[in-house]
Amino acid sequence: MRHLSCIPIYIFLYSIYRLVQTAGACVDLRNLFYIVALSSCTLGVYAEDDLRKAAVNRQRNIIFNNDGDDAWVADAPATPEGFLNVRMNHIGSGGVNAVFYCTTQSFNSFTHNSQLTEVFTGQGNFTPNNRMNSLLAAGTDPLKLAVESCRKQDLEIFWTLRMNDIHDCFSPELLSQWKRDNPNFLVGEAADVKRFPPEDPRSVWTFVDFSRPQVRDRVVEIIEDVINRYDVDGIDLDFMRHTCYFKETAWLQPVTTEHLAMMTEMVRKISQVVKTASREKGKPLLLSARIFPTMDLNRHFGFDLEQWLKSGYLDFIAVGGGYDPFTMPAQDMIKRGHQSGMPVYVCLSASGMEQRGVAGSAISAKDPSVWRAAAANAWASGADGIMTFNLFPQLADSSATQAARLLWEQMSDPKKMVGKDKLYCIENLGLQSAKGYMMRSVPYEERLPVVIARGASVIRVLPVADDIKALNDQLKALRLRIYLAELKNGDQVEIQLNGKSLPISAEKPGWLAADLSSAFMIKGPNKVSITYREGDSPQLTVGSVELAIHYNP
């Protein structure tokens, strides 16, 4: 039951917590806040649902998704201190509010000291520097150390479970004994690697088959073991790593209604496990999920998000695999999540900060302006924060650590990115979509590449969060670049931006460019029209559309 008298107390306690946290206190004030609140609950002036609501809506400007590779990164001692010095010691006070720590190596194999599943201690070609044996001998493990580090830095920490990771298909040393002992629980078999070409989803054989109740039950057991034995703040279900859960998906077919019901029942059980542990531990433990950005995509792969949200199984969600960070249609799930009263975060990954296969592209995960552009679009879409994927510190004082901290700090607040250089693009998803394990989970309709026949036109939308007209006094340079494969000297191409023809010129082989004024731009969706009027080539392929914005210091 909700007690109305709890509201003023909640506001007072949370205000004190935020004030002291902003001042840079090192103690774990969040836990102190929860303890006082729970004490108030005992006295009948604070309700459990208000405490949970406070936990759900706490500030998460940046969620750092740590994939757990710090368990075997080279050039660090095989000690607890060496482990922490790889990544975990370098994340506080840099814009990060929460850490999602992953220990998944394969289904049923992890780098936390499980009493239920396999503990991955292998030192093969993929993980020659695995320090797990040394950490276990010291009485600890990566998840335990990550939790302790986050407590010292006053950071929220979730254990993130990769629901169907298949790195073991490419690195056999990761293949769990559970999979070896239960080949009938897998979507395919080892011979499929040679039976089908790499671009065929059926070649990726190590996915577990969630139509098997033994698989779904094992997931619930694994989560129950972790949440009862580790002092995490919640569990994250990473359904994007990777995206096949039923054999139909490997055959590029939609799943059945029965499959949707199976996954919903599993999520219901997981939600029950988390809520039971929350009551037993006397603090709110949360359940999140990383899922697709549209309801149609979720249903296609087996996730009845509409039912999950309606039933209250999840406390918040993150959207996207990170492969289309600039044009991802995140607004659908953001709107639905907000309608259900939950925060929604957008996932940005270094994996999507490249234009693979496009010679001369300026898009690179090493360029801060690229991350800033993607983050600005995410905030503009209504996201409550950013999850970063494959963006890691890498030992003290390293350039990777400096870059990650700078990006986290800037991306944590859209106001901090105003007037800073950005590089927007429309993603080229050709090579990504052709990979078998992608299962066509990132469709490139309305993206790139796209073919233009001679005499024809195509239109693509370039989202730009910057209000360039309002920042005209700060604008130093604005340049649009377009890559056209097969482009030859003499080919006549017209490019329009928001209905205005551009003064284009050849920049380098295959590339056309135009220097623009702010008058050409719109804050939000910008329509790029490309017309191939005439030339020697029967067609041109648009491989990249890139907009570089440079501001005066």
Domain ranges of the chain: 1-56, 57-414+421-438, 450-551
Give phi and psi for 321, each to the nearest 5.
-85, -10
Provide the pLDDT confidence category of residue 16 given band limits of 50, 70 and 90: low
pLDDT at 1: 31
> Residue 431: pLDDT above 90?
no
Higher pLDDT, 434 or 171: 171
pLDDT bin (cut points 50, 70, 90) of residue 436 is: confident
- Residue 446: is its pLDDT beyond 70? yes
pLDDT in tens, 100-135: 999 999 999 999 999 999 999 999 888 999 999 999
Which class for 23: exposed (0-12), middle (13-18), buried (19 or more C-beta within 10 A)?
exposed
| Structure confidence by residue, pLDDT tens digits, 451-486 | 999 999 999 999 999 999 999 999 999 999 999 999
Question: Average pLDDT in the 241-254 region?
Answer: 94
Cα 29 → chain centroid: 28
| pLDDT one-digit tens code per residue, 61-100 | 999 999 999 999 888 899 999 999 999 999 988 899 999 9
Question: Do 57-414+421-438 and 450-551 come out as alike in CATH topology?
Answer: no
In CATH, what is the architecture of 450-551?
A: Sandwich (2.60)
Query: What rounded mean pLDDT belongs to the chain?
Result: 92
Q: 10 Å Cβ neighbour count for 490?
A: 8
Amino acid (one-letter) located at 207: F
250-300 pLDDT tens trace = 999 999 999 999 999 999 999 999 999 999 999 999 999 999 999 999 999
Query: What's residue 12's pLDDT?
Result: 52
Per mean pLDDT, which range of 6-20, 211-225, 353-367 is the poorest?
Answer: 6-20
List all residues 6 or more positions away from 295 whose beta carbon is below 8 Å from its beta carbon: 305, 306, 332, 333, 336
Tokens found for residue 62: 């940046």
Residue 47 confidence (pLDDT) above 80: no
| Greater model confidence, 44 or 248 | 248
Residues 206, 175 contacting (CB under 8 angstroms): yes
pLDDT digits 0-9 by tens, 179-228: 999 999 999 999 999 999 999 999 999 999 999 999 999 999 999 999 99
Q: How far apart are CA 495 and CA 459, in angstroms?
A: 10
CATH number belonging to the domain at 57-414+421-438, selected among 3.30.870.10, 3.40.50.300, 3.20.20.80, 3.20.20.70: 3.20.20.80
Secondary structure (DSSP) of 208-222:
B-TTSHHHHHHHHHH
For the chain, give the percent of residues with pLDDT over 90. Answer: 85
What is the average pLDDT across 410-425?
98
15-29, 284-298, 482-496: which has the minimum mean pLDDT? 15-29
Contact 451, 540 (CB under 8 A): yes
**pLDDT tops 80 at residue 36:** no
Lowest-confidence segment of 2-6, 403-407, 458-462 by average pLDDT: 2-6
What is the enclosing helix (H) or strand (E) of 118? strand 118-119
